[in-house]
Amino acid sequence: MLFPVWIKNRIQGTEIDSNPGGGMTDSGIVPISLGWNLKRADALATYTIYMPTGRYANGASDNTGFGMWGHELMLGTTVYLNQARNYHAAIVSSFNFQTTKEGSETRVGNAMNLEGGVGGDFLHGGLTLGLVYYASFKLTADRIEGFPLNIEPAKSKVFALGPEASFPLVRNGVLFGFLKANYQWETYARATTQGAEFNIIATFLVKPLKLPNP
């Protein structure tokens, strides 16, 4: 179960918060998560429910949530390109469906998202380098309250590509987590904002893992 508690200015599908402030945002629960490990591939399938636990009022400038329920179906696989499994290609596809926003007729369109990349493990698994991408396509247009019914908003599309590096956080043979950094350029965008982004993501294990001796 996910309970995000940080807030930033963001686009909420059809709205832009000008003064979100601090507080708890929306939460997610994953009632179904399945995985398969094969000789030269791994696969996963999940179902996530996003709950509107964040503060939201129609037309307010300090919302910390989206004011709607969301459902996400995700399928993904990683294929290993050699027997040693140190070169790999991955793709994850997800489909998002939202309810109407609370207190309005606004409804964010359904979307399909793709992300993945190709890469390799180096330094005996101590460094992973690769090229990653993401793409998002609206399957249905946004429905905006007060927008003329005879004008349908365009379905947004975006595609981004860039390098990524990640490595495990290990000390004295104990794994504490992972650190990942990537920079991605949005090479194409339609009916949405376009730019580039730099991400640094740290993941820490609840219980550090003692690694076996090589």
Model pLDDT for residues 193-213, shown as the tens digit of each residue = 889 999 999 999 989 999 887
In a domain, 84, yes or no: yes
In a domain, 177, yes or no: yes
Number of domains in the chain: 1
In a domain, 7, yes or no: no
CA 33 to mean position of chain CA atoms: 16
Q: Which residues pair with 135 in a beta bridge?
A: 114, 159
Q: Which residues pair with 210 in a beta bridge?
A: 174
Determine the structural domain holding residue 98 and report its residue range.
Answer: 27-210
- Strands of the sheet with 157-171, listed across from one edge: 27-37, 41-51, 70-80, 87-98, 111-122, 127-138, 157-171, 174-190, 196-210
In a domain, 1, yes or no: no
In a domain, 22, yes or no: no
Model's pTM, two decimal places?
A: 0.76
In a domain, 8, yes or no: no
In a domain, 18, yes or no: no
Read off the amino acid at residue 26.
D
Model pLDDT for residues 144-174, shown as the tens digit of each residue = 777 665 555 678 899 999 999 999 999 988 9
In a domain, 15, yes or no: no
